[in-house]
A = this chain, B = another copy of it.
């Protein structure tokens, strides 16, 4: 199984090569964008540019490893079958894996052992298979493989910088407990912590609220100690993340929400600084919190922002195409 070179060609060069290329005869690329909630797969016939897509559940290697393997294997078979059906090929699809260059961008792919185990368990005879973090595929998608700094603000947070030579540099991505500052779960956690303090200092003693944010969160997590402990005992990062829109919504009327929002913006700007590492690259913000956060950033960060040109699935397919280029 070939390893994908770290030194990749920029996007324009790839496209020029593909247009005139003899290597695209019967060649396919398969890209996967696998996150903690859903997984997207796309198979492309490089000659006809026909493509087939399928969607499934989580394929994060961190959360449910066996579930991730099942999701990925199922989605690969599904798009290959779709291609066979529309291209009138035999149903014996296994042999066709040899014509597919595949790149999986998966949450949790920083864990080498799990990646190795995934490759061994799948045992699909791709022409080449590379597995990398979804941060990497996001960055390749965001600026068509050209130099860029990408910061993803979803439930978690992570930064990725690509230079013009195809080198990538990761920042953050340490997970909910020890990292993810600037992400929705950590913002929601900060709001829950404020709520617990408010509960102990005011509500438990005299049933009054000093803070609108805490008052609203107590409607979800309860207003007695046993209720709150029960909520806390099962709360996952996505449960905390659900409170992050509330912080934005209440910032105008609640000083506590305003303070948390300021700390969130500070954390995002710190993550952007680490990701840019003193370069002046175009900056792309991705993920569910990207739009609401953008408006609150300082002017100097806003000026560096560009809109994403593609998503992580585009990035995975882009990376998979490199195989045919670097082979030539």
Chain A residues at the B interface, C-beta cutoff of 8 Å:
62, 110-113, 170-172, 174-175, 177-179, 189, 192-193, 196, 200-201, 225-226, 228-230, 232-233, 235, 274
A126 to B112, alpha carbons, bound, how many Å? 54
A170 to B177, alpha carbons, bound, how many Å? 25
- Indicate if the CB atoms of A274 and B200 lie closer than 8 Å: yes
- Indicate if the CB atoms of B189 and A178 lie closer than 8 Å: yes
Q: Which residue of B lies closest to A195 (CB)?
A: B178
Which residues of chain B have C-beta atoms less than 8 A from A201's C-beta? 274
Contacting residue for A111 out of B179, B193, B230, B235, CB 8 A? B230
Given contacts A171-B200, A200-B171, contact A230 B179 (CB under 8 A): no
Which residues of chain B have C-beta atoms less than 8 A from A233's C-beta? 62, 111, 175
Q: Which residue of B lies closest to A179 (CB)?
A: B196
* Distance from A216 Cβ to chain B, minimum over Cβ atoms (Å): 17
14 additional contacts (CB under 8 A) given A110-B225, A111-B229 = A62-B233, A110-B229, A170-B225, A172-B200, A174-B229, A174-B232, A175-B233, A177-B177, A177-B235, A178-B189, A178-B232, A179-B196, A200-B274, A201-B274
Q: List 24 A-B contacts (CB under 8 A).
A: A110-B225, A110-B229, A111-B230, A111-B233, A112-B226, A113-B226, A113-B230, A170-B225, A171-B200, A172-B200, A174-B196, A174-B228, A174-B232, A175-B229, A175-B232, A175-B233, A177-B177, A177-B189, A178-B189, A178-B192, A178-B196, A178-B232, A178-B235, A200-B274
- Indicate if the CB atoms of A232 and B189 lie closer than 8 Å: no
Q: Which residue of B lies closest to A277 (CB)?
A: B205
* Distance from A28 Cβ to chain B, minimum over Cβ atoms (Å): 30
* Distance from A118 Cβ to chain B, minimum over Cβ atoms (Å): 14
- Indicate if the CB atoms of B232 and A177 lie closer than 8 Å: yes
Q: Which residue of B lies closest to A236 (CB)?
A: B177
Which residues of chain B have C-beta atoms less than 8 A from A177's C-beta? 177, 189, 232, 235
A113 to B228, alpha carbons, bound, how many Å? 12
Which residues of chain B have C-beta atoms less than 8 A from A225's C-beta? 110, 170
Which residues of chain B have C-beta atoms less than 8 A from A112's C-beta? 226, 230
Given contacts A111-B229, A111-B233, contact A193 B178 (CB under 8 A): yes
- Indicate if the CB atoms of A226 and B110 lie closer than 8 Å: yes
Give me the 3 closest cross-chain CB pairs, A-B, nearest first. A112-B226, A110-B229, A111-B229
A178 to B239, alpha carbons, bound, how many Å? 13
Which residues of chain B have C-beta atoms less than 8 A from A178's C-beta? 189, 192-193, 196, 232, 235
A192 to B201, alpha carbons, bound, how many Å? 30
A184 to B175, alpha carbons, bound, how many Å? 20
* Distance from A150 Cβ to chain B, minimum over Cβ atoms (Å): 16
In the complex, which of the residues A110, A170, A177, A192 has the most CB atoms of chain B within 10 Å of its own CB atom? A177
Q: Which residue of B lies closest to A274 (CB)?
A: B200
Which residues of chain B have C-beta atoms less than 8 A from A113's C-beta? 226, 230
A270 to B235, alpha carbons, bound, how many Å? 26
